[in-house]
Amino acid sequence: MEFTRTEPDPASQTCGYQIQVGGWDNDGNRFCVAPKATGLYFCQEHHDWVIQDEPDGIVRMAPGNVRGH
């Protein structure tokens, strides 16, 4: 999986899901750089991870986050 160490703009079409916080070897944060899936806030893989923890099946995001198109 490709990643970046800087958080993508939530208004972009980049997934941006944080896949690592810090790390044992202090190699920093990692954010997914896959494109957002159509109609979703994340790529399909990370949307599936997030939706597992939502009891009502709704992903709530702060204003300014856009869905993929």
**What are the pLDDT digits (tens) for 1-41?**
788 888 899 999 999 999 887 766 666 789 999 999 999 99
Q: Where are the alpha helices (DSSP H) in 1-69?
A: 44-52
Amino acid at the residue 3: F
Domain membership of residue 44 (yes or no) is yes
Write out pLDDT tens, residues 34-60. Answer: 999 999 999 999 999 999 988 898 888
> 21: domain range?
1-57
SS3 69: coil
Q: Please tell me the total count of domains within the chain.
A: 1
**Torsions phi, psi of 19, nearest 5?**
-95, -10
Sign for the CA dihedral angle at 59, 63, 68, 69 comes to positive
> Which two structure tokens, joined as six digits, stand for 25?
């070897």
Tell whether 66 is covered by a domain. Answer: no
In this structure, is residue 49 part of a structural domain? yes
